[in-house]
Amino acid sequence: MITEELRRSQGTDFYLMDELLTDEERAVRDKVRRFCDEELIPVANEYWERGEFPFDLVPKVAGLGIAGGTIRGYGCPGLSPVAEGLIGMEMARGDGSFNTFFGVHSGLAMQSIALLGSEEQKEKWLPVMARMEKIGAFGLTEPNHGSDVVMLETSARRDGDEYVLNGEKRWIGNASFADVVIIWARDEEGEVGGFLVEKGAPGYTAEVMKGKISKRAVWQAEIKLENVRVPAENRLAKANSFKDTAKVLTATRYGVAWEAIGHAIAAYEAALAYAQQRSQFFKPLVNYQLIQSKLAGMLAEITSMQLLCYRLSQLAAEGKMTPGMASLAKMNNARKARKVVAEARDMLGGNGILLDYHVARHFADMEAVYTYEGTDTVQSLIVGREITGVQAFSQR
């Protein structure tokens, strides 16, 4: 059965990365860690198993004052990219579903408004979203395109002082209950824009997707837009091409690389604690060479992921992070974390598929992390393009 040692983490920091953090970064990490240990982890399994979202935890995470991450002003915390990354790492160590909910709101939705919105749009939405009084969603992916997001079919037709939106979206986190959903659509000139669709808009429907084996507690929806009318002032002022959309994706992609670390740490620490407690053939598992070799390999992967993300976040803070850099971190860390959680699941034997030991949840959730925000193949092609200068994506 799960023990307090399995449940509570002191963090895995083999190369003493803690010494590189500022006092503010440590403080942010520690309060998110406490929230996860005391509030999130104790209930994560039951919500995950039922496929329900823990709405009662939203006011509690709002009280941490971390929504908006690196955004400065408008009631947002103005954190460093390292601090924002640590939030994602700790939240994912707690539960991947809740981390996705928070990342969609604080990252994709709020960053879209911060990077591409007008002053009026920022003033209207960012303060209430920072307090999490209003929740955001980000509607880009479509049923027929997946990774080929550039080819989106959702349309935006200008009609007087409004835009009329038609189309479908899929895998959109928070979309069934969000107060504002940023819908990415192609206008009559063929350019991609972001449109702020507010809760209750006629013609907007969102149905929660069922049957997932990963991230079960986050509500992702299929959206239908049938002649949804949006005021012209609800078009993001600086979103006029897919290059603008890509700015948001690049700015948030490194957060997924940090998230992968959180899943890996949770699985590694659970496996280590289990190996210390579990006896097989008359002695604890940690006494066996094979187990120690596995643990050492897992820790090596985690440590390399941590240092990669730390440097990437420094580059982001300096304005030097490129799309290829962000993609390299996501690609690398998702691969490594997927391997670490698989090792942990194997080390726990049959108990590895039981939610009580938490590893099974992280094992399943890593499958989503490996795929979303760009698959492993797509990330490698973004890196390849930056290395070679050659676009290897399909070109028409």
- CATH number, domain containing residue 175: 2.40.110.10
For the stretch 199-249, pLDDT in tens is: 999 999 999 999 999 999 999 999 999 999 999 999 999 998 888 888 898
Predicted confidence at residue 2, as pLDDT, reads 45
DSSP secondary structure string for all residues of 49-113: HHT---GGGHHHHHTTT-TTTT-EETTEE---HHHHHHHHHHHHHH-HHHHHHHIIIIIIIHHHH
**Domain assignment present for 247:** yes
**For helices 242-277 and 323-347, angle between their N-to-C axes, nearest 10 degrees:** 20
Same domain, 154 and 253: no
Same domain, 122 and 151: no
Of the candidates 103, 380, 130, 141, the one whose C-alpha atom is nearest the C-alpha of residue 258 is 103
- Judged against a pLDDT cut of 90, whether residue 52 lies above it is answered with yes
**Domain assignment present for 395:** no
CATH assignment at residue 361 = 1.20.140.10
Here the tokens at position 363 are: 């094992």
**Domain assignment present for 20:** yes
Same domain, 221 and 246: no
For the stretch 292-307, pLDDT in tens is: 999 999 999 999 999 9
CA torsion through residues 152, 52, 248, 259, sign: negative
**Of 5-9, 157-161, 267-271, which gets the smallest average pLDDT?**
5-9
Domain boundary, last residue among 96, 130, 164: 130
Same domain, 300 and 168: no
Quote the domain boundaries for residue 161.
Answer: 136-234
Predicted confidence at residue 10, as pLDDT, reads 52
Same domain, 168 and 287: no
**Domain assignment present for 396:** no
Same domain, 303 and 186: no
Domain count, the chain: 3
Same domain, 271 and 361: yes
Question: Which element (helix H / strand E) includes 274?
Answer: helix 242-277
Same domain, 270 and 377: yes
The CA–CA distances, whole Å, from 246 to 20, 108, 214, 322 equal 30, 11, 26, 11
Same domain, 104 and 42: yes
Same domain, 172 and 191: yes
Cβ-contact 315, 343 below 8 angstroms: no
Domain boundary, last residue among 208, 234, 260: 234
CA 60 – CA 36 distance, rounded (Å): 11
Domain boundary, last residue among 218, 234, 250: 234
Residue type, 282: F
Same domain, 217 and 257: no
**Domain assignment present for 393:** no
Same domain, 82 and 161: no
Report the pLDDT averaged over residues 342-350: 96
